[in-house]
Amino acid sequence: MTRSWAGRRTSNGCPTAQCSCPTTTTGPSTTSPTRAERGERWGVARRLSLAGIALVVLSVLAGAPAQAADLEAGRRLAEPCARCHGADGNATLPGTPSLAGQPAWFTHWALIKFRDGRRKDPLMSPFAANLSDADMAGLAAYYAALPPRPRPQAVDAAKAAAGQRLAVSNQCTSCHRGDLSGQHQVPRLAGQDIEYLRRMLRAYKEGTAGDLEGLMTIAAQPLTETDIESLAYYLASLTPAP
pTM: 0.72
Please determine, for residue 45, whether its predicted confidence score (pLDDT) is greater than 60. no
Question: Do the domains at 71-144 and 157-237 have one common CATH topology?
Answer: yes
User: Which is higher by pLDDT, 36 or 146?
Assistant: 146
What's the fold here for domain 157-237?
A: Cytochrome Bc1 Complex; Chain D, domain 2 (1.10.760)
Please determine, for residue 25, whether its predicted confidence score (pLDDT) is greater than 50. no
Please determine, for residue 64, whether its predicted confidence score (pLDDT) is greater than 80. no
d(CA 49, CA 188): 22
pLDDT, average across residues 169-195: 96
pLDDT, average across residues 70-80: 95
Task: Please state which of the ranges 23-32, 78-87, 214-223 shows the lowest mean pLDDT.
Answer: 23-32
* Secondary structure element (H or E) that encloses residue 49, with its range: helix 35-62
Cα dihedral across residues 232, 78, 118, 43: positive or negative:
negative
Q: Are 218 and 204 in contact (CB under 8 A)?
A: no
Angle between helices 133-144 and 104-116 (to 10 degrees): 140
What distance lies between CA 183 and its chain's CA centroid? 10
What does residue 183 show for φ and ψ, rounded to 5 degrees? -165, 150
| DSSP line for 94-139 | TT----TT--HHHHHHHHHHHHHTSS--TTHHHHHHT--HHHHHHH
d(CA 144, CA 125): 21
What's the fold here for domain 71-144?
A: Cytochrome Bc1 Complex; Chain D, domain 2 (1.10.760)
Our CA dihedral for 104, 214, 3, 41, rounded to 10 degrees, sits at 130
Instruction: Show me where the domains of the chain are located.
Output: 71-144, 157-237
d(CA 150, CA 233): 13
205-229 pLDDT, tens digit each: 999 998 878 999 999 999 999 999 9
Q: What is the pLDDT of residue 68?
A: 57
195-211 pLDDT, tens digit each: 999 999 999 999 999 88
Q: Name the band, by pLDDT with cuts 50, 70 and 90, for residue 235.
A: very high
Which residues, 6 or more positions from 109, have their beta carbon under 8 angstroms from its beta carbon? 185, 212
| Cα distances (Å, whole numbers) of residue 32 to 12, 22, 28, 36 | 16, 13, 10, 11
